[in-house]
Amino acid sequence: MITAPFWNKIIGSFHFPMNIQASRIAQAAVLTAAVLLLLAPFAGKAFHIDDPMYIWAARQILDSPADFYGFQVNWEGYMAPMAEVMQNPPGVSYFIAAASTVAGFGEYGLHIAFLIPALAAAFGTLALARRFTASPLLASLVAIATPVFAVSASTVMSDVLMVAFWVWSIETWVSGTDKGDHRRLAIAATLAGLGILTKYNAVSLFPLLAAYSLMKRRPGHLLWLLFPALMLLGFEAATAEMYGRGLFSKAAAYSSMIKGLLATGAAEKGFTGLLFAGGSFLPVLFFLPFIRNFKVYAAVILFASVALIVLLLSGGVGGMRVYREGGLDWAFMAHAIVFSAAGGGLLAIAVSDLLRERDPKAVLLFLWVAGTFVFSGFVNWTTNGRTLLPMAPAFGILIARATGARRAGFSSWRLLPLLPAFLVALLVSAADFSLANSAREAARTLLTRYSQQNSASALWFQGHWGLQYYVEAWGGRVIDWRSTVLKRGDLVVIPLNNYDLVLPLERLSLADKLSLPLMSGASTMHPSAGSSFYASIRNPLPFAFCLDAGEDYFIMRVREDIDLPALLPGAISKARRGPDR
C-alpha cells in the first residue's frame, strides 16, 4: 500500500530542498517510472529505418570483434562494403552485440536492453539539472516528455546511447571544473570519446566543454580534451588501415557531397530547422503560461507570424505546397505555424536565460541549444529529429529555470504541462510504432501470399529499412541492381514510401496492391501530411497530426526482361535519398 508520506516525498521531489536522501530516492523512482511508461508499451516495435544496419554490424562483431564492418550489405539497392555504406561509428553495435548474448536479437529483448541507455540519459539529465535548478526532476521529465526523445528511444539506433554519454560527460566536466577535480575531468573526457565513437555528432562536445572551462577561467583543463581527440584520431587511423579510408573523414565527405547535391538554400534550411526544432520540443508551448517573460511571448508571436507570411508568399517549404486544388492546405499551414512558434519560443528561452544570468552555466546552455540547432539545420546533410535529440537535456533544464523552478515557492501547478507533453510524446511514438510494424506485416503478408500460390515466377522486393530486414530474415529476395536480372513474369514489390532507385515502369504492369492502415492520430512519415521524422529531404515536419495515414505496396509484374546492372548508372542519377545513417 502506498502511504501518504511516500506521496509527499514524490511531490516534494520536484522541488529540491527537503530531506536530500529521501528526495533523491523519490526522484529516481518517479523518473524510472516515467521512462518505463514512455517506452515499455513499444517494446515489441519492429526494427525500423536504420536499426538493421546496427544489428547486422552487431552480428559481425560477435563473429569478428575487431572487424566490425568487414562484410557486404545491400542497403542502397546493391551490394557494397559496409564500411562504405555506414556513416556512423560502431559503438552502439558493440552494445547490441553484448546485449544479444543475454537478450538475443529479437525485438522485445533488444528494446528492453535499450532501456539502459534511455535511463542513463534521463538520470544524466537529472544529475546535471541538480547543478542548474532547484527542480531537477522537473527538468529531466520535461527532457524525456518530448516527441524527439520518445521516438528516438524506441529504436535501437545510436542516438540515445550517444546522448547518455554526452550528458554524463557534461555533468562530470562541470563538476570537475567547479571543484578542480582532475579525476572527474578524466572521466568526462573518456565519456566524450565514447560518445564520439557511438555517433560522430558528439564532436560538438569539444566546444561546449571548452567554453565552460574558459568561462570558469580554467584553461589548463582543456588539456583533458586531448584524450577524446586522440581516441577519434586513433579510430580514424585504425579504420583507414582496416578499410582503406578513415571512417570519420569518409562520413564528413559523405555529408558534404549530399549537401552539394541537394543545394538547399540557407533560408529554407533555417525554416526547416525551426519546424523540426519546434515539433521535436513542442512541450515548450505547454509551459508558456508559467513562463513570465514578455520577450518569450513576443518571440512566439513573431515566429508564428513570419511563418505564416513566408508560407503564403513562397507557396510552401521543403516540397510541401500550401496552395492545392480547392484552396490552402490548412492542416499543413497550422502545423508549420505552431511548430515555428514552438521553435521560436525554444530559442528565445535560451537567449533570455543567457541575457538574464550571464554566467558559465547560462553560456553552456545557450551554446548547447544554439549549436545543436545549427548543426542539425545547416551542417548535417539533412535535418531530422535524431540530430536534434542532444538538445533534450538542455531543453528540460531551460524550461525548469524559465518557469521559476530556481526560486522558493515553486508551484506544483507548474507540473500540469507534463500531462499533455507525455500524451503527445506517446501519441507520436505510437505513430512511429505503427509505421514500423506495418513494414514487418507487409513482409509477412506478401511472402505468405505468394509462396502459397506456388507460382513459377520469382518474387522480388525493392526498398530497405525494416522491410528489407524482415524480407531477408524470412527468406525473401531483395533486388540487387548490380546482379539481378528480372525475368518476364517475375513479381516486384515496390513500397510507395520506401525506395531509392526507380525501375523502368514502362516494362512493368500492376498485378496487385497491398494497403496497410496505420494508426490514426499522428504520423512520423507520410507524404500528404508533410511528416518525415528521419529526414527533412522527404518532408519538412518531424511529425503531423492526421487521420488517414497508410502504407501502400504495389506488386508489379515484369512484362519483359530487365537487366538491372545495365540500368544502374542512370538509376543512381535519379535516386531518391533516404534517412540519415
Q: What is the pLDDT of residues 77-94, one digit of tens each?
A: 889 999 999 999 999 999
Q: Is residue 229 part of a domain?
A: no
Question: In sequence order, what are the residues at sequence separation of 6 or more whose Cβ sits closer than 8 angstroms to the Cβ of residue 90?
Answer: 57, 61, 68, 69, 197
Q: What average pLDDT does the segment 407-426 reach?
A: 80
Contacts of 155 (CB under 8 A, 6+ apart): 45, 48, 49, 51, 114
> What b/e sequence results for 347-385 when a residue is b if at least 16 CB atoms lie within 10 Å of its CB, and e otherwise?
bbbbbbbbeebeebbbbbbbbbbbbbbebbbebbbbbbb
Residue whose C-alpha cell is 513499444: 42
Taking a C-beta distance cutoff of 8 angstroms, is the pair 86, 57 a contact?
A: yes
Q: Is residue 408 predicted with pLDDT exceeding 50?
A: no
pLDDT band at 453 (very low <50, low <70, confident <90, very high): low
- When divided into structural domains, the chain yields a total of 1
Summarize the confidence of residues 177-193 as an average pLDDT.
97
**pLDDT at res. 21:** 54
Dump pLDDT digits (tens) for 237-268.
999 999 999 999 999 988 787 766 676 788 88
- Phi, psi at 549, each rounded to 5°: -80, 150
* Residue 411: per-residue pLDDT: 58
- DSSP line for 151-210: HHTTS-SSHHHHHHHHHHHHHHHHHHHHHT-HHHHHHHHHHHHHHHTT-GGGGGHHHHHH
Check pLDDT > 60 for residue 437.
yes
pLDDT at 202 over 90: yes
Q: What is the mean pLDDT of residues 158-162?
A: 98
* Residue 404 confidence (pLDDT): 78
What pLDDT band is residue 18 in, cutting at 50, 70 and 90?
A: very low
- The answer to whether position 507 is within a domain reads yes
Is position 306 within any domain? no
Give the C-alpha separation, 180 to 203, whole Å: 23
Q: Which of 207-211, 262-266, 524-528, 570-574 comes out lowest in average pLDDT?
A: 570-574
11 has a pLDDT exceeding 70: no
Give me the pLDDT at residue 4, please.
46
pLDDT value at position 515? Answer: 93
- The answer to whether residue 351 sits within a structural domain is no
Name the band, by pLDDT with cuts 50, 70 and 90, for residue 529. confident
What is the distance between the alpha carbons of residues 448 and 21, in angstroms, rounded to a whole number? 57
Does the pLDDT of residue 463 top 90, yes or no?
no
**Measured between alpha carbons, how far is 36 from 117 in angstroms, rounded to an integer?**
12
Percent of the chain past pLDDT 70, that is, above it, reads 91
Look at 170 and 330; give whichever has higher pLDDT. 170
What confidence tens digit (pLDDT) does each residue in 363-401 have?
Answer: 999 999 999 999 998 888 888 999 999 999 999 999 999
pLDDT score of 187: 98
Residue 64 scores a pLDDT above 50: yes
Is there a contact between 550 and 529 (Cβ–Cβ < 8 Å)? no
In the prediction, which pLDDT does 261 show? 67
Highest mean pLDDT pick, 202-206, 265-269, 532-536: 202-206
Question: What's the CA gap between 257 and 426, in Å, rounded?
Answer: 36
E-strand ranges in 278-430 read: 316-317, 320-321, 323-324, 327-328
Torsion of CA 446, 448, 454, 458, to 10 degrees: 40
Average model confidence (pLDDT) across the chain: 90
pLDDT tens per residue, range 550-571: 899 999 999 999 998 888 765 5
Cβ–Cβ under 8 Å, residues 201 and 390: yes
| pLDDT for the residue 363 | 97
* Band of pLDDT at residue 504, cut at 50, 70 and 90: confident
For residue 324, what pLDDT is reported?
78
Which pLDDT score, from 0 to 100, does residue 201 have?
Answer: 95
- Average of per-residue pLDDT across 151-157: 98
Percent of the chain at pLDDT > 90 equals 72
Would you call 563 helix, strand, or coil by DSSP?
strand
**Distance from CA of residue 128 to its chain's centroid?**
22
Q: 515 Cβ partners below 8 Å, 6+ apart?
A: 550, 551, 552, 553
Task: Specify the pLDDT at position 329.
Answer: 82
- Average pLDDT for 214-238: 96
Question: Of 151, 35, 156, 170, which Cα lies nearest the Cα of 94?
Answer: 156
Beta strands 491-495 and 531-532, pairing class: unpaired
Three-state DSSP at 513 gives strand
Strands 320-321 and 316-317 turn out to be antiparallel
At residue 1 the predicted structure's pLDDT band, cuts being 50, 70 and 90, is very low
**More confident site: 528 or 334:** 334
Q: Does residue 481 register a pLDDT over 70?
A: yes
Instruction: Please state the φ and ψ torsions of residue 244, each to the nearest 5 degrees.
Output: 90, -10
In a domain, 511, yes or no: yes
Quote the pLDDT of residue 32. Answer: 97
Rounded to a whole number of angstroms, the CA Rg of the chain reads 24
Task: Write the single-letter amino acid at 159.
Answer: D
The neighbouring-strand residues paired with 513 are 554
Flag whether 493 is in a domain.
yes
pLDDT of residue 571: 56
User: In this structure, is residue 233 part of a structural domain?
Assistant: no
Look up the pTM and report it. Answer: 0.91
Q: Are strands 459-461 and 477-478 parallel, antiparallel or unpaired?
A: parallel
Classify residue 266: in a domain, yes or no. no
N- to C-terminal Cα distance for the chain? 48
Structural domain range at position 484: 433-573
